[in-house]
Structure 1
Amino acid sequence: MKRAALLAAAAALLVAAGEPLPAERETEHVVTAGETLMGVANRAKVPRVLIIEANGLKAPYALRTGQKLKIPRTRRHTVARGDSGFTVAYRYAVPWKDIAVANGLSEDAPLKPGQVLLIPTLIATADPAPPASAASAAASAAAATAASATKIFGWPLQGTVRRGFTARTESDYHDGIDIRTPVGTAVRASAPGKVLFAGAEPRQFGNLVVIDHGNGWTSSYAFLSRVTVSENEDVRAGERIGLSGRTGMAKGPELHFELRRNNRPIDPAEELPEAK
């Protein structure tokens, strides 16, 4: 009898595991035959206009079977002690000015523990490129090749990568790489720049340093045992900015390292030189 009950429970779990995500929790929807935009929006419980904007749909908004639609969802963040506009924005990869606007706040408004913030979903839009002649296209391609051959970022320390980058389009996304290293190892600036943040981030990163490198690029160094630079300080490439540790959500002695361009996480493996 007991064995039968266990088998029944296991079967139920298997069935549940194979069930699709409920419509009100989907972040991507594949259109089935006969579906309309209004029907998708109603089942997803997301305003129709947001789905239109997220997918660049044009009137009359007819859908086709098999079409994939992004379903933008608003997230919520409950402010914890030690949170700041910077740390909240960094965690969700959404500029603080956009979060402030979504919540009717001024950008310099102080945050209070327990305060609930709406985190807007930003839709990336590509600027239309002007038509280029064959000569200018060839010159652009040559410039891109030369730029890719010169890596502007260096490794912050030597060690084994425990976990790599996974884009935010995946449910188990990971915005950077985790590098195993003994506690107390010197962590060095990946490129020259100015320190944007240096201190404790209470939710996830522990002791954190973020450096602005210009042109929209930032690098981040988390799980540190000690921070050795200050905000607004100029740093050189290779200069020590802290010591590695196991603070925050570290799984052991390691460094969490990120690169972002215009606040969008970029795979560091694509920007770093080949490890020696």
Structure 2
Amino acid sequence: MIPKSLFLLAALALPIAPAVAAPRDETVHVVEPGETLNGIANRAGVSSEALAKANGLKAPYVVRLGQKLAIPRSRPAPVKTAAPKPDNAAAPARASGASATAKAAAAASSTAKAAIAAAGPPEQESVHVVQPGETLGGIAAAAKVPRVLIAEANGLQPPYAVRSGQKLQIPRTRRHTVKAGDTGFSISYKYAVPWEQVALANGLDPAAPVKPGQTLLIPTLLDPPPASGASVPVAAPTSAPTAAPLLAIPAPQSTPTTRSARFAWPVSGPIRRGFATGANHHDGIDIKAPEATMVRAAAAGTVRFAGMEKEQFGNLVVLDHGDGWFTAYAFLSRVTVKEGARVAAGERVGLVGSTGLAKGNELHFEVRQNGKPVDPLDELPKAP
């Protein structure tokens, strides 16, 4: 960000003109703070392409404070002999045409205003269409979202130039009040957002501990926008996950499979509820099993969390397998490992129970990559 003092010094360095021409009359324009090429072109009544070409500008057409831009004006047309005055019948026709043009312009303006109003106030919109003269900083201030988060959500690179008509995704935030026992990892896991991103949004040192009572903004991570011209797949509506039939799950044995699985089954039993996204999202699978059945590590890893999570998971174990991969084992009646311990694949991490939001004796099992839930069935061996 450029300090305000530099804007002041740059302004003082500019020559003082005795008079300033109207935007549509000036032939040279000196760039002022916050102006963009599109905004200057619109006010001058010329196209941005013609303005860029006249000044040898290249994409992304960034202008700098104090820069002098030549405004391409068309040469005055040669003077023609005065045409005979129109008769009285032609005058109303011209007036009617001018009236129609004015009405069309008013209608277009009304339509544009209605579209902006329908989008909702800036602090609530999730997609913003860039208007002429807008900058990323101004959009972020109006939306009340840090500029760096909008830049990251839309894959923008310095100097973060935006163009008129561009659609920007606005990452909305949630809030979390830190409670006793919370850690950066437990907060990160709860919201499926990497702790580094949470710390960045709150200006915190990722290595520093959180404090009870502290209010944190939880940024919403968005997938990067598709490349220009790429089609966006539309997901078909899915039925409620509880309507799916129970699936028989084999015990985690060395049974040959048709593909290489990243993880092994942590427990044997039918799936009561599967993975789902959307309104009825479910970030893992719930596997039914008798109480006190051993729950085994799906792969070798390090215990990142081992204890009670009161809101939904009950007794919970989270394993870090490296390369951004984590597995979670919830609803346990008992945790049998300690935080920080190294466990081998197949080693016991707890016992099946009915704590948290369990609907009976079952294991809630999750797989996450870089903080985002992944369908466990895609990473487990297929049933024979």
Identify whether the pair has TM-score above 0.5, normalized to the shorter chain: yes
Change in 2 beyond 3 A, CA 1:47/1:263: closer
Match of 1:120? 219
- In percent, how many aligned pairs have the same letter? 57
Helix, strand or coil: the match of 1:149?
Answer: coil
The residue number in structure 1 matching 2:323 is 215
- Aligned to 2:312, the other structure's residue is in SS state coil
CA 25–204 in structure 1, closer or farther in 2 if over 3 Å, else same: farther
- 1:225 alignment partner, SS class: strand
- Report what 1:258 is aligned to: 366
Instruction: Please report how far the alpha carbon of residue 252 of structure 1 lies from its aligned counterpart in structure 2 after TM superposition.
Output: 2.6
Determine whether 1:156 maps to 2:266. yes
| Residue from 192, 198, 206 that aligns with 2:314 | 206
User: Which among 141, 154, 179 is matched to residue 287 of structure 2?
Assistant: 179
How far, CA to CA, are the matches of 1:51 and 1:106 in structure 2? 21
Structure 1 segments unaligned to the other structure (5+ residues): 1-19, 129-147
Q: Distance in 2 between matches of 1:229 and 1:117?
A: 30
AA matched with 2:287 = I
Deviation at 1:160, TM superposition (A): 1.8
What secondary structure sits across from 1:150 in the alignment? Answer: coil
Q: Give per-residue Cα distances to partners, 1:241-276, cap 9 Å, x unaligned.
A: 100112222233221111112222211111111235
Query: 1:249 & 1:108 partners in 2: Cα distance?
Result: 31
Do the aligned partners of residues 275 and 43 (structure 1) sit closer, same or farther apart at CA in structure 2, a change above 3 Å counting? farther
Cα deviation for residue 214 of structure 1 reads: 2.1
The separation in 2 between residues aligned to 1:93 and 1:159, in whole angstroms, is 27
The match for 1:76 among 175, 183, 196 is 175
Please report how far the alpha carbon of residue 77 of structure 1 lies from its aligned counterpart in structure 2 after TM superposition: 0.4
Residue 192 of structure 2 corresponds to residue 93 of structure 1 = yes
Counterpart for residue 301 of structure 2: 193
The residue type equivalent to 1:205 in the other structure is F
**1:218: Cα distance to partner?**
1.4
Is the contact made by 1:229 and 1:242 (CA closer than 8 Å) also made in structure 2? yes
Describe the shift of the 1:226–1:272 C-alpha distance in structure 2 as closer, same or farther (beyond 3 A).
Answer: same
Which SS does the other structure have where 2:264 is aligned?
Answer: coil
Q: Which has the higher strand share?
A: 1
Q: Deviations over 1:38-63 (max 9, x none)?
A: 9x989966578755642347855344
> Alignment length, in residue pairs?
229
RMSD: 3.5
Q: Helix, strand or coil for the counterpart of 1:152?
A: coil
Partners of 2:147 and 2:324 lie apart in 1 by: 32
- Separation of aligned partners in 2, 1:49 and 1:212: 29
TM-superposition CA deviations, 1:97-121 (whole Å, max 9, x none): 3323332333344434332111123
State the distance in 2 between where 1:244 and 1:123 align: 35
Q: Distance in 2 between matches of 1:248 and 1:112?
A: 25
User: Are 2:383 and 1:272 aligned?
Assistant: no
Change (3 A) 1:116 1:41: closer
Corresponding residue number in structure 1 for 2:206: 107
Amino acid at match of 1:164: G
Q: In 2, Cα distance between the equivalents of 1:21 and 1:222?
A: 41
Q: Is the 8 A contact 1:81 1:202 kept in 2?
A: no
Distance 1:161 1:121, change over 3 A: same
CA apart distance, 1:216: 2.1
In structure 2, the CA distance between the partners of 1:189 and 1:107, relative to structure 1 (3 Å rule), is same
Q: Secondary structure at the match of 2:318?
A: strand
Which residue in 1 is equivalent to 2:342? 234
> SS of the residue aligned with 2:282?
coil
Q: Give the 3-state SS of the residue equivalent to 2:196 in structure 1.
A: helix
Alpha-carbon shift at residue 35 of structure 1 (Å): 8.2
- Deviation of 1:207 after TM superposition, in Å, equals 1.1
CA apart distance, 1:82:
2.3
- Equivalence for 1:133: none
Distance 2:270 2:124 in 1: 36
Taking structure 1 as reference, are residues 48 and 89 closer, same or farther at Cα in structure 2, changes over 3 Å only? Answer: closer
**Closer, same or farther in 2 for the Cα pair 1:191/1:248, shift >3 Å?**
same
Cα distance in 2 between the residues matched to 1:47 and 1:243: 44
Are the structure 2 counterparts of residues 179 and 25 from structure 1 closer, same or farther at C-alpha, using a change threshold of 3 Å?
farther
Q: Residue 85 of structure 2 aligns with which residue?
A: none
Change beyond 3 A, Cα 1:81–1:235 = same
Taking structure 1 as reference, are residues 161 and 62 closer, same or farther at Cα in structure 2, changes over 3 Å only? farther
Matches of 1:45 and 1:76 in 2, distance apart?
14
How big is the shift at 1:153?
A: 0.7
Partner residue in 2 for 1:5: none
Per the alignment, residue 163 of structure 2 pairs with 61
User: TM-score by structure 2 length?
Assistant: 0.51
- Partners of 2:362 and 2:119 in 1: CA distance: 34
